């Protein structure tokens, strides 16, 4: 990745009168990353995203997007390189989907020939001629994504982007995001859907009450949290005691049955465990490893507070 961050927040705080909603956050987001903000309602995720977009000014600290303060007037020349899907999508209901995207294309300076392609990407071609007030919530969300990706933005901000989408459309949505990233786009996502987002993120920032609690890849966060990998070995009958005895000096054995051995190991010792299991030979019939999931990591860092 490029060594110069696409987005950088340095000791950034945002206050409204006496209420501090973002509190001294330091963040770097690199070109081509899929970076996810997670946290409880009111944690400050949307405010952080608006600071990055230049929709609000930091009370203190420095926000840099592509090396410049996005709240400055001089940044307006770069706004065509940004795409944004807000959490609550609102459109002119009397317009059709096609008319609305043509309108946004004119605002962005994008050729209207690209509009049909965007509608097709979000599976709205058949409904392009219908008025937006006839669209379901999921359709409006897809229309919002279509306007966000107009012009193939280099930097895409998505706030709770899959609200109202069924599993099939969520899969299609993330495929679109994957294609944009393959073309070099940087994606910043705010989401509550922890199980959904964990496979989409290069790095995850955990936000609590306006503060950055932890930041890193899923494996890095697991290691920081000290959460183990739970492993079950299927073992040939009569050999579980010997298998457990050979692994016990290195790993914590939790349960032994006639056919299996359950143990835990640190995230950074997964490969070591696999090597030692391989050395046990054919008595080990199968292995099932369950690494910590994002919801477990989240609960650990947030002291049990739910997203």
Phi, psi values for residue 16, rounded to 5° = -120, 105
Whole-prediction pTM: 0.84
Please name each of the domains of the chain with its CATH number. 7-222 (3.40.50.300), 228-291 (3.30.70.120)
**In this structure, are strands 203-208 and 186-190 parallel, antiparallel, or unpaired?**
unpaired
Flag residues of the chain having pLDDT under 50: 1-2
235, β-bridge pairs: 284
Determine the pLDDT at residue 169: 79
Q: For residue range 36-92, what is the model confidence (pLDDT) as tens digits?
A: 999 988 899 999 999 999 999 999 999 999 999 999 988 988 888 899 998 888 888
In DSSP notation, 6-71 reads SEEEEEEEEEETTEEEEEEEEEEE-TT-EEEEEESTTSSHHHHHHHHHTSS--SEEEEEETTB-TT
Q: Give dist(CA 209, CA 16) in Å, integer.
A: 14
Q: For residue range 203-221, what is the model confidence (pLDDT) as tens digits?
A: 999 999 999 999 999 989 9
CB 157 within 8 A of CB 83: yes
Q: Give dist(CA 80, CA 194) in Å, integer.
A: 30
């Amino acid at each position: 990745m490029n060594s110069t961050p696409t987005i950088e927040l340095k000791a950034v705080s945002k206050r409204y009168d006496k209420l501090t909603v973002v509190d001294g956050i330091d963040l770097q987001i690199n070109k081509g990353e899929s970076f996810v903000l997670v946290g409880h309602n009111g944690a400050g995720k949307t405010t952080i995203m608006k600071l990055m977009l230049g929709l609000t000014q930091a009370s203190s600290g420095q926000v840099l997007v592509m090396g410049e303060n996005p709240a400055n007037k001089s940044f307006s020349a770069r706004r065509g390189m940004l795409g944004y899907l807000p959490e609550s999508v609102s459109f002119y209901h009397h317009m059709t989907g096609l008319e609305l995207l043509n309108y946004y294309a004119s605002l962005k300076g994008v050729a209207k020939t690209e509009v049909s392609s965007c509608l097709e990407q979000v599976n709205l071609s058949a409904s392009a001629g219908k008025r937006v007030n006839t669209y379901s919530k999921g359709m409006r969300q897809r229309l919002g994504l279509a306007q966000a990706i107009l012009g193939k933005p280099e930097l895409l901000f998505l706030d709770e982007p899959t609200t109202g989408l069924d599993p099939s459309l969520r899969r299609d949505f993330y495929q679109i995001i994957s294609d944009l990233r393959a073309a070099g786009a940087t994606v910043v996502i705010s989401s509550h859907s922890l199980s959904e987002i964990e496979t989409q993120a290069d790095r995850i920032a955990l936000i609590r009450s306006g503060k950055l609690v932890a930041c890193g890849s899923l494996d890095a966060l697991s290691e920081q949290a000290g959460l183990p990998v739970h492993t079950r070995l299927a073992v040939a009958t009569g050999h579980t005691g010997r298998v457990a005895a050979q692994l016990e000096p290195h790993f914590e054995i939790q349960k032994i049955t006639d056919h299996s051995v359950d143990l835990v190991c640190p995230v950074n010792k997964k490969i070591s465990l696999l090597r030692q299991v391989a050395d046990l030979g054919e008595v080990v019939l199968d292995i099932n490893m369950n690494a910590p999931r994002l919801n477990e990591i989240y609960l650990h860092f947030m002291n049990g507070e739910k997203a």
